[in-house]
Homo-oligomer: A and B are copies of this chain.
Amino acid sequence: MSEPVLSPTARTTVRRLPERQRDDRAALHAVLDEGLVCHVGFVATDGTPVVIPTAYCRLGERLYLHGSPASRMLRSLKDGVDVCVTVTLVDGIVMARSAFHHSMNYRSALIFGRAEVVEDLDEKGRVLDGFVDHVLPGRAAESRPGNETELKGTLVLALDLTEASVKARTGGPVDDPEDMDLGIWAGVLPIGLAVAEPEPDDGIVDPAPPSVAAFADRRGVRR
């Protein structure tokens, strides 16, 4: 069992607006489980920082990335270079009376570390199901499972959730006292995900399966 508390390191101590830092592991898991894509940052061999959006999943205290062994990002990471993985959820637009104090409500997670390759085929199988179920709970069981060729042809990397931070802003605008009576509208516009009607592939006549509703339930989305 890992600690329920995130212990900040030099890299994960929030310096700007430290009151926005969360220190509980449950908050980290919640951000990771609700997000759809992460942004993976690494330093390319020429020294350039590169930020790539990609799918991910969390199982226990590990975050997993996957893809083709030909992926430049995965080839870099599997050599054990430093990586920063960021997941961001935007919850609302904060409208203040002054232009200056406009803001956003958000939750974000940063994870630092070095990824390692998952070689074990049983673990790889669980993880690849985890990718599908992360987005659409229950979908892996609805689908044709991965076969050995697919498992072996997929590079899976794991990053321990050891060095991580969570930051969030919630609540309404914070205006300067002298602006409060200007008669300017202020408040929060809450935003989130929406789904439209599922679009069946050619030849599909059945209604969408339960995993589609589970997508919406996990994320509290609108229809």
Contact = CB atoms under 8 A, between A and B. Distances in A.
Interface string A1-41: 00000000001000110000000000000000000110111
A9 to B, nearest CB: 11
Contacts of A71: 16
Interface string A41-65: 1111001111111010000000000
Interface string A121-155: 00000001101100110011011111000100010
A95 interface: yes
A146 B89 CA distance: 28
A146 B52 CA distance: 35
B51 A104 contact: no
A55 B102 CA distance: 11
Contacts of A108: 53
A104, A182, A189: most-surrounded residue (chain B CB, <10 A): A189
B139 A84 contact: no
Contact of A51 (B85, B143, B191, B194): B85
B143 A99 contact: yes
A186 B201 contact: yes
A173 to B, nearest CB: 6
A83 B15 contact: no
Contacts of A117: none
Contacts of A100: 128, 146, 150, 154
A53 to B, nearest CB: 4
A49 B43 contact: yes
A188 interface: yes
A82 B49 contact: yes
B215 A189 contact: yes
Contacts of A150: 98, 100
A82 B43 CA distance: 10
B201 A187 contact: yes
22 contacts: A16-B67, A16-B70, A37-B106, A39-B86, A41-B41, A43-B43, A53-B106, A53-B108, A95-B139, A99-B129, A100-B146, A102-B136, A144-B179, A185-B207, A187-B201, A189-B198, A189-B199, A189-B208, A190-B197, A190-B199, A191-B194, A192-B196
